[in-house]
Structure 1
Amino acid sequence: MTQRRRLSNTQNSPQSRQQPGTLMAQEEDDDSTFTQPSTSQVQRGLEKLTPAQVEQKTAEVVQYFLVKDQKKIPIRRADLVKHVVKDYRNIYPEIIKRAERTFDQVFGLKLVEIDTKSHSYILINKMEPVVGASIINPTNPKMGLLFVILSIIFMKGGLVRENLIWSTLKKLRVDPGEKHEEFGDVRKVVTDEFVRQRYLEYVRIPHTEPVEHEFRWGQRADKEVSKAKILEFMGQLHEQDPQSWSQQYREAHSTPSSSQASTSSQR
C-alpha cells in the first residue's frame, strides 16, 4: 500500500506534469499494442459481422468523436480502440472510412489526423473556416482570445516569447496574473487548455534562468485557422493594405490551409 501511494504521489507531482516528452512517450506506448489490419484481415472480419453490427459500431465511433470534440482536445486512436472499437479492431479501417463519410455527408465535418506518431485526430468544419466571422464572435470569448494570440505569433514571424504575449494581453485589459470574469485563470487557459487542444505549442527556451517559454502555432491551428483571414483582420484593424506586410502576405497565400479556408469562405 505504501509503495502504491508513493507511485500515485509521484504521478501527480508538478514535476511529472511538466514533462511533455515523457507524456508523449507514454501515449505512443499506449498505441503500440494496436496494429493496423491489412485489407484481407478487414475483409475476413467483415464476413463474420452483419451490416447492422458494422453500422452500429460506426455510429458509436461518430458519437464518441462528436462528444470528445466539444472540448477541442485531439482524440487518440489508442483511446478510440480501447473505449469504443474494442472487439471490432480487426475492421478498424472500415469503421473509420465509414465514420469519415458520415462526418462529411451528414455533419459537414472533416476528420483529420494531425499527429501520425500518436495517431491523433481532430474534426474541422468544412463549411466555414474557424477564423473569420465565427472566431471573433463575442458569444465565444475564448476563441476571441485565441485569435488575438495566434495573430500576434503570426505577425511576429511564427515564434514569440511568452512575456510579449502577456504584455500584449495586459494592454487589452486581460491580465494573466488576475482572475478574468470571462476566462477565469488566463494563464492556465493559454498555457494548458489551448495547448491540450493543440491550438498552441508552449515550449521551454533552453539555457534560460529564470526559465522562459515561447509560443508557436499548434497542429490544430495550422489545420483550422486561415492566415489570410488574420491578415485581413489586421488590415482592417490598422487601416492598412494586407500586402503591406509582405512576408506575412507571402506566407498566408502560399500555404494550402490559407487558400482552402479562403475558398470555403467564398462559397
Structure 2
Amino acid sequence: MSQKKRTSSQKSQAQSNRLSQVARNEAVDSDEEDVSLTEPSTSQVQQSLSRLTVAQVDRKMAEVLQFILIKDQKKMPIKRADIVKHVLKEYKTIYSEILKRVDRTLGQVFGMKLVEIDTKNHTYVLINKLEPVDLNIRDMHTGSPKTGLLFVILAVIFMKGGIVKESIIWNMLKKLKVKCGEKHEDFGDVKKLITEEFVRQRYLEYARVPHTDPIEYEFRWGLRAEKELSKMKLLELVSELQEQDPHSWTTQWKEAEQAESSSRGSSQ
C-alpha cells in the first residue's frame, strides 16, 4: 500500500472513530437551542451541490448515516442540530439533500425509516420500516429484560386510558418483584431507568400532575412509542395473556383500530 493510500485510510478511520465518540458521548436531550439553519430554497441547494464533487457529497452522506446508526444503538433521538454541528458543518446548506439520501439508504439497505417526532426541534427516531417492533412480555425473563419491562409499562398505560399516575406503575411493578427503591439485578436503578432512560429514548413521557400536594407525577406514551409500536399487536398480546377476546376492551380496540388506519394512511 502506498504512503498516500495509507494516509487516506488513516484519515477515514480517524473520522469514523471521531463520529462514534461524538455520538456516544453527546448529551441526548440537551437544552441547547437548534443550530440556526434557515431552510434554503431548492435553487440554493442545487447551487451548493454544483460546487461539490460527487465524492464529497457521498462521503458526507456516509458520515451522517454512521452518526445516525450509532445514536440509534442506544435508542437516542437524533436532533438536526447535532447532525449539523458535529457532522455537516460547512455543508449545512445541503442538509435536506443529504437527509433525503440517508433516508433512502436506510430503507433500501437496513429496512429502516427516519421519522420526525418533533417538528419544532427537528428531532428524529429510526423505526423498523418492515414491521412494528415486536415487544414480548416473556423478554423480561429471557433475552431482553429492559424491553420486557418497557412493554409492561406501555401496556398498563394503554389499557388504563393513556395516562397513569406514577404510584400505579410502582405498585404494579412491586407485584412483579421489581421495587422502585432497590437496585435490580437486571435493571439496575429501576426509577432512573424508567423516569430518565426510557424518557430520553422517547418511549415514555413523565410529567408532574398540576395542582397536587403532595406532588404527583404521571406517565404517558412517548413519541417514539407512538411511532414505533403497534397498539393492535399490544392489545392482542394482552388479550392472549388475559385469555380474553381483544374486542372485550371496546375503547382500546377502537383506539388500536384508529392507530392502525392512521399508520397505513401515512405509509401510502
CA contact (8 A) 2:135 2:147 kept: no
CA contact (8 A) 1:114 1:120 kept: yes
Paired residue type of 2:74: K
CA contact (8 A) 2:137 2:148 kept: no
Kindly indicate whether residue 179 of structure 2 is the aligned counterpart of residue 147 of structure 1: no
Q: C-alpha separation between the residues in 1 aligned to 2:54 and 2:254?
A: 50
Q: 1:43 aligns with which of 46, 49, 58?
A: 46
Match in the other structure for 1:226 = 230
Aligned Cα RMSD in Å?
1.9
Alignment deviations for residues 2-45 of structure 1 (CA, whole Å, 9 cap, x no partner) = xxxxxxxxxxxxxxxxxxxxx88x43x333x1112210110000
TM-score normalised to structure 2 length: 0.84
Match in the other structure for 1:175 = 179
Kindly indicate whether residue 131 of structure 2 is the aligned counterpart of residue 128 of structure 1: yes
Cα offset, 1:255, TM superposition: 1.3
SS at match of 1:87: helix
Q: C-alpha separation between the residues in 2 aligned to 1:148 and 1:168?
A: 9
Q: C-alpha separation between the residues in 2 aligned to 1:244 and 1:213?
A: 30
Kindly indicate whether residue 251 of structure 2 is the aligned counterpart of residue 251 of structure 1: no
Map 1:1-267 to 2 at 5 A.
Answer: 26-27=31-32, 29-31=33-35, 33-132=36-135, 136=139, 138-256=142-260, 260=264
CA contact (8 A) 2:64 2:88 kept: yes
Cα offset, 1:259, TM superposition: 5.5
Alignment deviations for residues 203-242 of structure 1 (CA, whole Å, 9 cap, x no partner) = 1011112211000000000001111011111111110000
SS at match of 2:34: helix
CA contact (8 A) 2:203 2:222 kept: yes
Q: How many residues are treated as equivalent by the alignment?
A: 236
Distance 1:50 1:259, change over 3 A: closer
Q: C-alpha separation between the residues in 1 aligned to 2:138 and 2:78?
A: 22
Match in the other structure for 1:20 = none
Paired residue type of 2:243: E
Give unmatched runs, 5+ long, in structure 2.
1-28
Q: Which runs of 4+ in 1 moved over 2 A?
A: 131-138, 256-260
SS at match of 1:53: helix
Cα offset, 1:258, TM superposition: 7.6
Moved more, 249-258 or 91-100: 249-258
Alignment deviations for residues 29-74 of structure 1 (CA, whole Å, 9 cap, x no partner) = 333x111221011000011001111010000000000001111111
Q: C-alpha separation between the residues in 1 aligned to 2:75 and 2:147?
A: 11
Percent of aligned pairs sharing the same letter: 61
TM-score normalised to structure 1 length: 0.84
SS at match of 1:254: helix
Q: C-alpha separation between the residues in 2 aligned to 1:135 and 1:227?
A: 18
Q: C-alpha separation between the residues in 2 aligned to 1:128 and 1:79?
A: 28
Q: C-alpha separation between the residues in 1 aligned to 2:107 and 2:138?
A: 22
CA contact (8 A) 1:252 1:258 kept: no
Give unmatched runs, 5+ long, in structure 1.
1-22
Moved more, 156-165 or 125-134: 125-134
SS at match of 1:255: helix
Paired residue type of 1:195: V
